[in-house]
Amino acid sequence: MNYNIAVIPGDGIGPEITIEARKVLDKIGEKYGHHFNYTEVLMGGISIDTYGVPLTEEALAAAKKSDSVLLGAVGGNVGQSDWYSLPPDLRPEAGLLAIRKGLGLFANIRPAVLFHQLKAACPLKDEIIGEGFDFVVIRELTGGLYFGERGTTTENGIRNSFDTLRYDENEIRRIAKRAFEVAMKRNKRVCSVDKANVLDSSRLWRQVVEETAEGYPYVELTHMLVDNCAMQLVRDPKQFDVILTENMFGDILSDEASMVTGSIGMLASASLGETKLGLYEPSHGSAPDIAGQNKANPIATILSAAMMLRYSFDLEEAADKIEGAVKTVLEKGYRTIDIMSEGKILVGTKKMGDSIVAEI
């Protein structure tokens, strides 16, 4: 099969890590008889320098036309770069919001995986980690508090502000379906996180998730209140398979979830919409402090490419192959600087990519 991938290298370490992911995809293509065509698209600081805006209409159109988008990261050194003297909607990160919105990506999927080989990087105690953990947070990305009606007024000299947390059942149903579909490809357990003891929107959330669950009889559904979930993520992260939650809760919980793994260079993510087209990117930023030095860990981007194969192209076996190769390379002791520990073999970006390709 032929697949057209829009590649957005972006800024900082972005070009270095996306090139490694492309090497891995090319090896997969060779092995399984697929062909990946890449179209390079500018976004972020490099687009500002070239066109004066973080994302051009043409760049968005090219992303829309592709089968899927692979993104490195955008942004520069916030204290130093001229990009940050621009108004907020012309800064590099505005490109990110514009492309998510432009592609209608309402589901953000962030796996939190702790490979047992990387226990040393994890802030949790050994007895909590066990053999490592592997769960995923599915966050609603285009509704809720961040998109509701808001305002600030002054009445009788008293300033007052409000934000609105509103969901309709269609918005809840489509993200819930996505969570159940993801769970079907994993360990078939969904934990839906809300605040149904207090919030009306959470009570509707819970009802609609229950209704949606009827279509997925093989998936076990549980509910958890968000404050409890924040505790459980630290107390016993192994209990989770798929966590499903609304926008703001997901913003907070997905950051907490990624920190319990302790390794920023390892975490992949996907943002999905109604169609098969998705946006795949590492959870970290453009790391300007190490850009151009062959130090960046390409694994988060490589695992994001594996997610692309799984969720956009239904190439399960190839995705498993990449994930397996990453584990083997870690098992052999190869480490980039961010995950380095005593007695291991320090390698650069290229060597890490090459080692994963060699395992495939």
Q: Please tell me the distance from the alpha carbon of residue 43 to that of residue 96, in angstroms, as a whole number.
A: 8
Residue number of the CB atom closest to Mg ion: 251
Contacting ligand NAI within 231-270 (CB under 6 A) = 264-265
Q: Residue 192 binds which one of Mg ion, ligand NAI, none, with CB within 5 to 8 A depending on kind?
A: none
Q: Does 93 bind ligand NAI (CB under 6 A)?
A: yes
Does residue 227 carry a catalytic annotation? yes
Contact (CB, 8 A) for 31 and 309 = no
Q: Please tell me the distance from the alpha carbon of residue 139 to that of residue 245, in angstroms, as a whole number.
A: 5
Given candidates 16, 194, 251, 281, which one binds Mg ion under the rule CB under 5 A? 251
Least distance in angstroms from the C-beta of 253 to ligand NAI: 17
For 52-96, the DSSP string reads SSSS-HHHHHHHHHSSEEEEEE----TTT-GGGGS-GGGSHHHHH
289 annotated as ligand-binding: yes
Contacting ligand NAI within 260-319 (CB under 6 A) = 264-265, 281, 284-290, 296-297, 300
| Nearest to 229, CA basis, from 207, 213, 245 | 245
Q: Residue 289 binds which one of Mg ion, ligand NAI, none, with CB within 5 to 8 A depending on kind?
A: ligand NAI
Does residue 82 carry a catalytic annotation? no
For 352, phi then psi, to 5°, come to -65, -45
Which CB, 273 or 288, lies closer to ligand NAI? 288
Given candidates 75, 143, 278, 353, which one binds ligand NAI under the rule CB under 6 A? 75
Q: How far is CA 333 from CA 17, 23, 263, 336, in A?
A: 20, 21, 16, 10
290 annotated as ligand-binding: yes
Contact (CB, 8 A) for 44 and 54 = yes
Which CB, 62 or 264, lies closer to ligand NAI? 264
Q: Please tell me the distance from the alpha carbon of residue 47 to that of residue 53, in angstroms, as a whole number.
A: 6
22, β-bridge pairs: none
159 annotated as ligand-binding: no
Q: Which of 27, 195, 321, 338 is catalytic?
A: 195
Q: Residue 251 binds which one of Mg ion, ligand NAI, none, with CB within 5 to 8 A depending on kind?
A: Mg ion
Q: Where are the alpha helices (DSSP H) in 159-215?
A: 169-184, 200-213
Q: Please tell me the distance from the alpha carbon of residue 102 to that of residue 96, in angstroms, as a whole number.
A: 10
Q: Which of 32, 38, 84, 146 is catalytic?
A: 146
Q: Please tell me the distance from the alpha carbon of residue 179 to that of residue 137, in angstroms, as a whole number.
A: 9
Q: Please tell me the distance from the alpha carbon of residue 314 to that of residue 139, in angstroms, as a whole number.
A: 21
Q: Residue 54 binds which one of Mg ion, ligand NAI, none, with CB within 5 to 8 A depending on kind?
A: none
Contacting ligand NAI within 142-181 (CB under 6 A) = none
Which CB, 257 or 315, lies closer to ligand NAI? 257
For the annotated binding site for substrate, the residues are 100, 110, 139, 227
Q: Which residues of this protein are in contact with ligand NAI, per CB under 6 A?
A: 13, 73-76, 78, 93, 96, 264-265, 281, 284-290, 296-297, 300, 336, 338
Residues annotated catalytic, as ranges: 146, 195, 227, 251, 255
Annotated binding site for NAD(+): 285-297
